[in-house]
């Protein structure tokens, strides 16, 4: 068996979590991440039939039985992952009933997957149905995105339009727009189901006064989506009190969409 700490999926995940911490988005145990792994790849590093222990789940993941995920641990700090990946992360396989996570590696202190496992697994189920190459669900607490959710209309149309108006990149990177959930209790099946529902149409979902979810085919895609929203939100927060005079207009956004061939959400431009 090869050394799992040198597996490209592990190295890239640890680097991503370290970077998210460095950006100031994942204070204390804030944020969580899950990456769907290819069983053939995992088998180079682990016996995928050897279960360390079973962790019960309170929701039905029967449509993804046998799938294997690398998942951040509940209560663990992104800050610390690079120093002890096996303590802070786990690799789980969805067990036969779809109601149990079989631990294959990690959570060495007897830990468990993130409290947001319902949102993660339900979002994976939703995105895999749309895009078989989907792999990553990322949840983080980007400062300006949260700040914007405190002062801005939470209408998805209004929120997306403002993000598009702040910088040229926004509509190019997320032409479908950004979903927004009002404040809800986190860690529940309800917020997980609501998030997964939103991710049918979009790859980004803001949780008001909490953070954001982003999904993608790899870590870069999920991170790049969130990073672009956060940059636009930062521009908004820096300029809103001075009065925004030169935001990108609807006709300019349409020109941009025409040149870049963007399949943007037509309901969001006048």
Query: Which residues of the shown chain bind ligand 2HA in the complex (CB under 6 A)?
Result: 29-32, 114-116, 139, 186
Distance CA 41, CA 47 (A): 11
Query: Cα separation of 144 and 191, whole Å?
Result: 22
Calpha distance 211→119 (Å, rounded): 13
> Residue 223, by phi and psi: left (phi above 0), alpha (psi -120 to 50) or beta?
alpha
Q: Of the two residues 30 and 98, which places its CB atom closer to ligand 2HA in the complex?
A: 30
206 phi, psi to nearest 5 deg: -80, 135
**Active-site option among 102, 116, 156, 230:** 116
Which residues neighbour 121 within 8 Å (Cβ) at sequence distance 6 or greater?
34, 57, 59, 61, 64, 69, 94, 192
Smaller CB distance to ligand 2HA: residue 19 or 252?
19
Q: Is 211 in the site for Zn ion (CB under 5 A)?
A: yes
Quote the least distance from Cβ 212 to Zn ion, whole Å: 9
Instruction: Looking at residues 231 to 260 of the shown chain, list those that interact with Zn ion (rule: CB under 5 A).
Output: none
Contacting Zn ion within 185-204 (CB under 5 A): none
- Catalytic residue at 116? yes
Closer CB to Zn ion, 123 or 165, in the complex = 123
Q: Among residues 154 and 269, whose Cβ is nearest to ligand 2HA? A: 154
Q: Are 105 and 126 in contact (CB under 8 A)?
A: no
User: Which residue has the closest beta carbon to Zn ion?
Assistant: 211
Query: What is the binding site for Zn ion (CB under 5 A)?
Result: 211
Q: Looking at the annotation, which residues are catalytic?
A: 116
């Amino acid at each position: 068996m090869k050394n799992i700490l040198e597996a490209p999926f592990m190295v890239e995940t640890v680097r991503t979590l370290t970077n998210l911490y460095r950006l100031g988005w994942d204070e204390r145990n804030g944020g969580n991440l899950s990456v769907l792994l290819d069983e053939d790849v995992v088998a180079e590093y682990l016996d995928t039939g050897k279960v360390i222990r079973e962790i019960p789940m309170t929701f039905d993941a029967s449509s993804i039985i046998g799938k294997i995920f690398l998942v951040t641990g509940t209560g663990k700090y992104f800050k610390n992952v690079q120093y002890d990946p096996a303590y802070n992360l786990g690799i789980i396989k969805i067990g036969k009933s779809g109601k149990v996570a079989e631990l294959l590696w990690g959570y060495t202190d007897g830990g468990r997957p993130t409290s947001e496992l319902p949102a993660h697994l339900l979002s994976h189920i939703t995105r895999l149905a749309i895009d078989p190459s989907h792999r990553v669900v990322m949840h983080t607490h980007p400062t300006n995105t949260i700040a914007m959710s405190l002062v801005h209309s939470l209408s998805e149309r209004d929120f997306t339009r403002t993000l598009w108006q702040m910088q040229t990149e926004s509509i190019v990177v997320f032409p479908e727009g950004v979903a927004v959930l009002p404040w809800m209790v986190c860690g529940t099946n309800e917020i997980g189901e609501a998030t997964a529902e939103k991710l049918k149409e979009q790859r980004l979902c803001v949780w008001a006064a909490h953070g954001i979810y982003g999904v993608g085919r790899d870590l870069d895609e999920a991170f790049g989506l969130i990073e672009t929203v956060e940059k636009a939100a930062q521009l908004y927060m820096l300029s809103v009190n001075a009065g925004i005079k030169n935001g990108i207009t609807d006709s300019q956004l349409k020109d941009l969409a025409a040149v870049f061939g963007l399949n943007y959400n037509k309901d969001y431009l006048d």
